[in-house]
Amino acid sequence: TPVNQAAAVKAPTLPDAQTVTSVTHWTDRLFSFRVTRPASLRFRSGEFVMIGLMGDPHPETGKQKPLLRAYSIASPAWDDELEFYSIKVPDGPLTSKLQHIQVGDEIILRPKPVGTLVHDALLPGKRLWFFSTGTGFAPFASLLREPQTYEDYDEVIITHTCRDVAELAYGAKLIEDLKADELMQELIGTENLAKIRYYPTTTREQSPKMGRITTLLENGTVFADLGVPAISPKTDRAMVCGSLAFNKDIQALMEGYGLKEGANSEPGHYVIEKAFVGDGV
């Protein structure tokens, strides 16, 4: 009956509240979670939003203010839910709390998506590179599930560099599932999913491919391994998401190949976004 239905819907207790629908812990430093999507939210795959929780009550007034941080939406624009991939900073104001969220809990989500890691900011090309470190994989988790990625390019190369093998797990599983999932095969096309080349590397733990992606680009290992020509503004486009130091080093490499930075207002050969602000944990 309508009465029972009304009782079943929990009244939101936070402004811009969304409900957590699943949580997966990947390592003691990394987790991902999914939340309900506001009906009115439109975004482009690769964009980020502000999310968070209510902060602690003010010691005198008892008032609580939202504690918000920028987060890439890791799910594609067509998805019913929103996915996020998060670090756990032990004494981080937000993530020290956010890491404890459970199914049914609420988070705050400001429905104002923005960002430069979008197809609109790139000129047409043949080969698309996604360069990521750490949680910088998140916007590419969205773009890898976006059909336009494959409509626009013949080849899609995703590199992910982490310290340890365990930190690659979220990305590795996402790509494995993406290729095996029947719904994805139907939505994106098996031939399109075959365009994905996944190139994971680690720097502090033994794995099949060791080293910083910057070093592997500089010495030509990446091109030899993948059997592709060196990056050129004629054919290659790139999206970059990692720490400030990583972004700076990749940017210098891209400029060295002759690529020019793009923006929403003026599309170019590559685009960059910070995965976080600061030196890392």
Which of 31, 33, 43, 85 touches ligand FAD (CB under 6 A)? Answer: 85
Is residue 243 involved in binding ligand A2P (CB under 6 A)?
Answer: yes
Smaller CB distance to ligand FAD: residue 117 or 217?
A: 117
Is residue 38 involved in binding ligand FAD (CB under 6 A)?
Answer: no
Which of 74, 214, 236, 254 touches ligand A2P (CB under 6 A)? Answer: 214
Question: Which segment (13-21, 35-43, 70-78, 196-204) binds ligand FAD by CB under 6 A?
Answer: 70-78
Is residue 90 involved in binding ligand FAD (CB under 6 A)?
Answer: no
Is residue 31 involved in binding ligand FAD (CB under 6 A)?
Answer: no
Is residue 198 involved in binding ligand FAD (CB under 6 A)?
Answer: no
The alpha-carbon radius of gyration of the chain (Å, integer) is 20
Q: Which residues in 252-281 contact ligand A2P (CB under 6 A)? A: 280
Which of 12, 256, 258, 278 touches ligand FAD (CB under 6 A)? Answer: 278
Is residue 92 involved in binding ligand FAD (CB under 6 A)?
Answer: yes
- At its nearest, how many Å lie between ligand A2P and the CB of residue 176? 21
d(CA 219, CA 109): 43
Contact 199, 225 (CB under 8 A): yes
d(CA 53, CA 105): 10
The sheet carrying 127-133 orders its strands as 196-202, 155-162, 127-133, 236-242, 270-274
- Contacted by 161, from ligand A2P, ligand FAD, none: CB < 5 to 8 Å by type: ligand A2P
Which of 93, 147, 211, 267 touches ligand FAD (CB under 6 A)? Answer: 93
- At its nearest, how many Å lie between ligand A2P and the CB of residue 207? 11
Which of 69, 195, 197, 212 touches ligand A2P (CB under 6 A)? Answer: 212
Q: Report residue 228 as tokens.
A: 């592709």
Contact 209, 201 (CB under 8 A): yes
Is residue 69 involved in binding ligand FAD (CB under 6 A)?
Answer: yes
Distances (CA, A) of 60 to 54, 57, 63, 97: 17, 8, 8, 22
d(CA 128, CA 106): 36
Contact 271, 263 (CB under 8 A): yes
- At its nearest, how many Å lie between ligand FAD and the CB of residue 31? 9
d(CA 134, CA 119): 22
Give the contacts of 215 (CB within 8 A, at least 6 positions apart).
221
Q: Where are the beta strands (DSSP E) in the chain?
A: 17-25, 30-36, 48-54, 66-72, 81-87, 106-114, 127-133, 155-162, 196-202, 236-242, 270-274
Name the nearest CA neighbour of 75 among 102, 106, 51.
51
Q: Which residues in 119-138 contact ligand FAD (CB under 6 A)? A: 134-135, 138
**Sites of contact with ligand A2P (CB under 6 A):** 133-134, 161-163, 203-204, 212, 214, 243, 245-246, 249, 280
Residues that bind ligand FAD (CB under 6 A): 48, 69-72, 85-87, 89, 92-96, 134-135, 138, 273-281
